[in-house]
Amino acid sequence: MIKVIIVEDDPMVREINIKFLSKVDGFQVVGEASNIEGAKSIINNIEASLILLDVFLPDGKGLDLLKWIRLNEIQVDTILVTADKGRTSVDEAFKYGAVDYLIKPFKYERFKEALSKYRERFNRFKKLDSLDQEIIDEYIFKTVPGNKLQKQDEVEINKGLSIKTYNKIVQFMKGNKEAKLTAEEIANGSGLARVTARRYLEKMGEEGKVDIVQEYGRIGRPTNFYIIK
C-alpha cells in the first residue's frame, strides 16, 4: 500500500479527499494535519510516500512545507490540492518537485487520474535498481498533456509495454530468424536495456510469438534463448 498524509485545514474538504482516496486501489491514509506544524510533526514520525497538500493553511503556505521537505531531503512525493490558480504558485510547486497539481473544485475522475499515474510510477520504479531511457520516456510522455509522441509511438499493448518497442524487438529477431538469441543479444541489437528486452520477451513468450529454450552450462543457472516463430 502507498501511505499517504493529507494536509488540509478544511475538515469537510479533508473528508472528501479521504473518501476519494479510499476509492482508488493501493492507497492508505496514515496521517492528517490541518496546518504546517502539525504536518511537520507527522512527517517526522510517520513514514509515508505521498502527501496531498493544500496551499492555503492557517500558519503559512503549503509551498513553504514543500520547501522544508526538500531542504531536509525527506523522501516523499507531493500532489498539490488547492484553490490557488496563480501561475507563480503552480510554477513554484513543480520546481520543488510536486508530481501533480489539482485545482479545487475538481472532479473525482481527475483525482483518480492523478493517483493512478502516481501509483503506476511508484510500483514500476520500486522494482528497478536502474532506469533506462525507454522507461523514463514512458513516464515523462504520459505526464505531458496531449503529447503526440505518447499517442503515436507509445501506444500500449499491455500495461507498461509499447507497440513501438515491441515491433523493434520483432524486427531485430526476424532479421536473425532461426537464431537462438539471449536477452542481452536482443537488447544490444534493438538498442534497449536488457531488463526492458526481457519484459517484452516474456510477453512474446506468453503470446506464443517466441520459443524459449533453456540451456544449462557447467556452472550456475540456465540461460534462456529466444527464437522467433
Per residue in 87-111, pLDDT tens?
Answer: 999 999 999 999 999 999 889 999 9
d(CA 206, CA 75): 37
Report residues of the chain scoring pLDDT below 70. 138-160
Cis status of the peptide bond prior to 105, with omega within 30 of 0: yes
Per residue in 155-170, pLDDT tens?
Answer: 445 556 788 888 899 9
Q: What local confidence, expressed as pLDDT, does residue 142 receive?
A: 57
Q: What local confidence, expressed as pLDDT, does residue 151 receive?
A: 42
- Do 163 and 112 sit in the same domain of this protein? no
- Do 122 and 162 sit in the same domain of this protein? no
- Do 120 and 160 sit in the same domain of this protein? no
- Do 13 and 111 sit in the same domain of this protein? yes
Work out how many domains the chain is built from and give that number: 2
Domain housing 68: 2-127
Helix (H) or strand (E) holding 156: strand 156-158
Q: What is the pTM of this model?
A: 0.61
Q: What local confidence, expressed as pLDDT, does residue 141 receive?
A: 56
